[in-house]
A and B are shown apart, each in its own frame.
Chain A
């Protein structure tokens, strides 16, 4: 008897992509906006410049991917933390919907916000 192949590769791809993109880029944001600018190592760009930057299609796409994929990374991790860490595997279906559903909701909200900047 052949068992059905799992769809986990899909969630795992989002998880992997989210892990990679956030590991590479979030430190850059922290360094720029969290350390370098407050300490005056580089000059702080004014609001208009940042707004213009954020409205550029490439930036929009970038922020969207960064936020959404990071959320899916969280969802996958948290799903397994609840399963194994808190031994809640019996609530499998609810956890699944809660985790990926939250990431999906976050993605939609991000999309709307970025669209309307």
Chain B
């Protein structure tokens, strides 16, 4: 007989039951299976009502993040065997509203991401005929790491400050702001500072560091925030000591 492993999945079906509850499933324990395969097995073979998000199955789209045994992970990247002998507890990502079962509300996150103006800002655009904006490999490496983010939101679920201060703009959005601040083609840092040097911005961070621990893409948002704090402090002292040079 095939060995199985026990999955305890947090269900939330608002039209039936106002309270979430754990439901248990026995799934085959196959060597090559990740958690997402087990969820797909449940959906196809045991219980078609289970809802969750996924798409690429290869750690690229960022949609399959869940809390597995209390830790935020990408379920398409994490093997069942790691949790031998089980049980495995699966719940929606921490600190997000739940729409149904494992599907969370992402609007707040998307709004935060947009707020940092994650695009190249120029005071004056070059005319197309003047050619492209060239960049050396060194200039690219300044920000490349921060451009690897897949918006999986694991870092928000890992961050206790996000839990306590829901308005905190959060790790991924700050790392994304740095992705543009460190891009030599960009001139928008001052506009981003208006968002990130306020009370909801970078100084909410108390350097817990969990965001960088859980990030599947090694973006190191905690490092991005620390670097931003130094920039923010420099900015503050300049505006106090040279009040006439600045607006």
Contacts and interface: CB of A to CB of B under 8 A. Distances in A.
Nearest to B236: A9
B237 A12 contact: no
Interface in A20-69: none
11 contacts: A3-B195, A3-B200, A4-B198, A5-B236, A6-B201, A8-B203, A10-B236, A12-B232, A16-B233, A84-B160, A89-B165
A107 B131 CA distance: 58
Interface of A: 2-10, 12-13, 16, 80, 83-84, 87, 89
B72 to A, nearest CB: 19
B55 interface: no
Contacts of B206: 80, 84
A85 to B, nearest CB: 9
Interface in B180-235: 193-195, 197-201, 203, 206, 229, 232-233, 235
A102 to B, nearest CB: 19
Nearest to B194: A2
A89 B164 contact: yes
Q: Is the interface of B mostly helix, strand, loop or mixed?
A: helix
B60 interface: no
Nearest to B161: A84
A22 B159 CA distance: 28
A13 B201 contact: no
B194 A12 contact: no
Given A5-B194, A80-B206, A13 B237 contact: yes
Nearest to A84: B164
Contacts of B232: 9, 12
Contacts of A89: 164-165
B160 A6 contact: no
Contacts of A12: 203, 229, 232-233
A9 B201 contact: no
Contacts of B236: 5, 7, 9-10, 13
A43 B226 CA distance: 43
Nearest to A3: B198
A22 B142 CA distance: 31
A5 B247 CA distance: 13
A16 B231 CA distance: 13
A6 B164 contact: no
Interface in B155-189: 160-161, 164-165
